[in-house]
Structure 1
Amino acid sequence: MTLITRIAHDVQLMLRRPPRQQYAAICYRKRKKQQDIEVLLVTSRDTGRWVIPKGWPMQGKKSHAVAEREAWEEAGVKGKAEREPFGTFRYPKGMDSGLKITCQVQVHLLEVKDMSKDFPEKASRRLEWVNCEEAAARVQEPELKVLFHKLQQIAKNDGLGSGKPLNS
Structure 2
Amino acid sequence: MRELLKHWSPAVETPDALRQAGALPYSIVDGRMAFLLITSRRSGKWIFPKGAIEPGYTAWDSAATEAAEEAGVVGTIAQDVIGSYRASTGGEGATLVNVDLYPLLVTEQLDTWREKGQRLRHWATLTEAKRLLADRSLARLAVKFHTLYSGK
The equivalent of 2:22 in structure 1 is 24
Aligned counterparts, 1:32-43, within 5 A: 33=30, 35-43=31-39
Report the identity percentage.
Answer: 28
SS in 2 for 1:40: strand
CA distance in 1, matches of 2:88, 2:71: 22
Tell me the number of residue pairs that the alignment of Structure 1 and Structure 2 aligns: 138
2:101, 2:51 → 1: CA distance?
11
Partner of 1:12: none
Alpha-carbon distance in 1 for matches of 2:134, 2:97: 14
Task: Work out the CA distance in 2 between the residues paired with 1:142 and 1:49.
Answer: 12
Say whether 1:65 aligns with 2:61: yes
TM-score (norm 1): 0.77
Residues 132 and 151, structure 1, Cα contact 8 Å, conserved in 2: no
For residue 126 of structure 2, what is the aligned residue in structure 1? 132
Q: Is the 8 Å Cα contact of residues 91 and 103 (structure 1) preserved in structure 2?
A: yes
Q: Deviations over 1:111-164 (max 9, x none)?
A: 000011010000000000001221122112222111111122223327xxxxxx
Aligned Cα RMSD in Å? 1.7
Gaps of 5+ in 2: 1-12
2:101 partner SS: strand
State the match for 2:147 in structure 1: 153
Alignment of 1:52-91 (within 5 A): 52-91=48-87
User: Partners of 1:80 and 1:69 in 2: how far apart?
Assistant: 11
Q: For 1:146 and 1:21, locate their aligned partners in 2 and report how far apart those are by CA, in whole Å.
A: 19
In 2, the alpha carbon distance for the partners of 1:154 and 1:72 equals: 25
Alpha-carbon deviation of 1:18? Answer: 4.3
